[in-house]
Amino acid sequence: MLFPALPLLCFVVLNTAIIIFGYFMIKKAHSIFAWLLLLISVATIWFISGGMHPVVKMLTIITTAFISMKVIATTESYKGKSTMVTFRQWLVFVVGWAGMRAQPFESFGSAAVPGAWDMIKFGISRLLAGAMLIGLAHAIVRGSFNPTIVYITVSALLLVSFSLVLHFGLLSISAGIWRLSGVHAYYLFNRPATSVSLTEFWGKRWNVAFIEMTTITLLRPLRHRLGNAAALLIAFLFSGLLHELALSVPVNKGFGLPLLYFFIQGLMVLLEKRLAFSGSRFLQNKMIARIWVFFWLVVPIPLLFHKAFLQEVIWPLAGL
């Protein structure tokens, strides 16, 4: 059964409990208990999702880990602060927004913020573009082409199309809708194609929610204890572990590959910082810089989106 009733009921109960108890942890600033909540929640969802379809298993694991990380990030960001989101604001933030900063939701319910409809229109255009690419992927599969070429081409198309639908489509529409409700929401994927370094790509433009999460929960607390380089590498490794949960655990294959991908990214970011510190002009040429960024993001990408994940999650999600 694609949607087994009892495990899904347990999933709903578990995440409801995380949201409720998480709010009390935020008010008490209990960071250690928030991290413990993440470990217990992920272990629980892994146990109860064993018989689920890989697609459903992925969604339940991602949701549980994401909500748990919101508890940690919000606990850290409100430490020593006199203001606090209300439970209603906390609830809409957790359930309805993919970012990791709760502060913008302190104004939820006030006058609309400018720029909302531009975000919504942008999101709709990307949503339609993603849907067209999925349609193209279906057309290619139905054609009489070399199977290897079809697999590579369609896999690439589907990854781009799902990114357009989710990252640039639905999340932009969501940001616009929240702006209509008085929340200073923002693009969570901020023109990543304009990046001229991996540092800019991972630190400012790609998946701002992850940037917020690692900055608040790891970089800031660890920087003073371990130094910038060690804290940065730990943040990348932690991102790798979260991607293991999302990409390898649901299919029970490919373990270690997403972690290796993010380890490489962390090393390359540190190398960029080293080059900049030494006065190297290597990445000052924009064309060379863009080739550099494209190479390190795309060439190792089979480590991140490994074959089992593509075959058991991405293709089925597209109805293929």
Tens digit of each residue's pLDDT, the chain (320 residues): 455 677 788 889 999 999 999 998 888 877 888 899 999 999 999 988 888 889 999 999 999 999 999 999 999 888 877 778 889 999 999 999 999 999 999 999 889 999 999 999 999 999 999 999 999 999 999 887 888 898 999 999 999 999 999 999 999 999 999 999 999 999 999 999 999 999 999 999 999 999 999 999 898 889 888 999 999 999 999 999 999 999 999 999 999 999 999 999 999 999 998 888 887 777 888 899 999 999 999 999 999 999 999 999 999 988 88
Token representation of residue 87: 């439970």
Residue 281 is predicted with a pLDDT of 78
Residue 224 is predicted with a pLDDT of 86
DSSP string, the chain: --S-HHHHHHHHHHHHHHHHHHHHHHHHT-HHHHHHHHHHHHHHHHHHTTTS-HHHHHHHHHHHHHHHHHHHHHHHHTTT-S----HHHHHHHHHH---S--GGGGGTTSSPPTTHHHHHHHHHHHHHHHHHHHHHHHHHHHS---HHHHHHHHHHHHHHHHHIIIIIIIHHHHHHHHHHTT-----SS--GGG-SSHHHIIIIIS-HHHHHHHIIIIIHHHHHHH-HHHHHHHHHHHHHHHHIIIIITTTT--TTHHHHHHHHHHHHHHHHHHHHHTT--TT-SHHHHHHHHHHHHHTTHHHHS-HHHIIIIIHHHTT-
Residue 206 is predicted with a pLDDT of 93
Residue 3 is predicted with a pLDDT of 59
Q: How far apart are CA 225 and CA 210, in angstroms?
A: 22
Q: How many CB atoms lie within 10 A of CB 255?
A: 14
Residue 51 is predicted with a pLDDT of 80
Q: Which residue has the tokens 């529409």?
A: 173
Which residues, at least 6 apart from 201, have a Cβ–Cβ distance to it below 8 Å?
192, 195, 293, 297
Residue 71 is predicted with a pLDDT of 93
The structure's pTM equals 0.91
